[in-house]
Amino acid sequence: MGDPRGIGPEVIVKALADPARRARARFVIFGSKQPMAEAAGLASIDGFWSVRTPVSTAGPDDGVVLLDYGEGDGTSSQPEGELSFRFIDDAIAATGGAAVNARGDAPAGVTLDAIVTGPINKEAWAEAGHAEFPGHTELLADRFGAKRVRMMFVAPKLRVVLATTHIPLARVPAALSVERVRETIELGAEACESLGIAGPRIAVCGVNPHAGEGGLLGDEDTETIAPAVQAARTMGIDASGPWPGDTIWNAAVAGKYDLVVAMYHDQGLIPVKLLAFHDAVNVTVGLPVPRTSPDHGTAFDIAGKNIANPGSMAAAIDLAITLARSRGLTSRT
């Protein structure tokens, strides 16, 4: 569900209100029943889910099951932050992989093939005592023990993978290395293959204006990014660059490239959210199970007003099912 105060409950209700989407898989919602009921009431949607507790020994019913975590147990100064953290931590544990949650257990009777996460508030996580995880991506990597994890965004006309994620802009140059950029290209290529794109054409952004202007505007492009591109090419990947980060997007949207590798968060997210705010999906590549999420945040300013667009959540659910099936999973849940 993500943060119960945000638009997560609303977009989940609206996205799963479509019977055709519900028929594609079984769904378990890790959340709280009150915000779900309120969102459904405002949208005039009849409840389509059953409710049970996370510790119930009963297995999930067919259709949609809501695991109700209540309103918090009073142990945290930031109950919504603790709840949203526990939702995802328990969902990770329920994948049946090596991951376990902080308490070393998992909800009874639940086995997952894929995870779709609602938007969280990072400040609430920090205030609840989880500041070591700046977001979902970092928590997922930690719990699964995944050493090579990247954020990728899939939109109708654009796909973007990030070499760095939630770090201050001032730390980006130091975080980039030939190996990290090469790995990002490789993971992006593998993700494209899983989406059915054979031999993806990959454009790699520079980090400095004009891709460094031959070293006049910084040497990271020639000393780090260009060697990484060459290393990827020796692996048989159709990668090119570094390209200026302000112009490569036109060629990508026109269909010349299947994927763009961006060096930092806003370099990649600004074009994605400008072109496909209601359609883009965040995919974590490098995990043993598919994980997707909407590309938007909690939107506290419109929560509870029944005006949130569920498009990105619907797309995230659909893509999670597609990715699970592409890996040969059974779509049990």
For the segment 72-106, what is each residue's pLDDT rounded down to a tens digit?
Answer: 654 555 789 999 999 999 999 988 654 455 555 56
* Interval 189-214: pLDDT, tens: 999 999 999 999 999 999 999 999 98
pLDDT, residue 99, reads: 46
Q: Specify the pLDDT at position 60.
A: 66
% helix, strand, coil for the chain, step of 5? 40, 15, 45
For residues 178 and 97, the model is more confident at 178
What pTM does this model have?
Answer: 0.89
pLDDT at 248 over 70: yes
Q: Where are the beta strands (DSSP E) in the chain?
A: 27-31, 50-52, 64-68, 115-116, 150-155, 158-162, 201-205, 238-243, 259-262, 281-285, 291-294
DSSP per residue over 243-288, as a string?
E-TTTHHHHHHTTS-SEEEESSHHHHHHHHHHHHTTT-EEEEETSS
Confidence of residue 61 (pLDDT cuts 50, 70, 90): low
Cis peptide before 134 (omega within 30 of 0): no
Q: Please report the pLDDT score of residue 73 as a whole number.
A: 52
Alpha carbons 86 and 69: distance in angstroms, whole number: 9
Radius of gyration, CA atoms only, the chain: 20
Among 68-77, 213-222, 238-247, 259-268, name the one with the lowest average pLDDT.
68-77
Write down the mean pLDDT value for the chain.
91
d(CA 32, CA 35): 6
* Model confidence band, residue 331 (pLDDT cutoffs 50, 70, 90): very low
318 contacts 21 by C-beta, under 8 angstroms: yes
Tracing tokens 């090419």 back to the chain, one arrives at 233
Where is pLDDT greater, at 156 or 110? 156
Output the pLDDT for position 81. 93
Chain centroid to Cα 185, Å, comes to 18
Q: Is the CB of residue 40 less than 8 Å from the CB of residue 46?
A: yes
The secondary structure of 32-77 as a DSSP string is: -HHHHHHHHHHTT-----EEE-TT-SSPPPSSEEEEE-TT--S--S
Phi, psi for 242 (deg, rounded to 5):
-75, 140
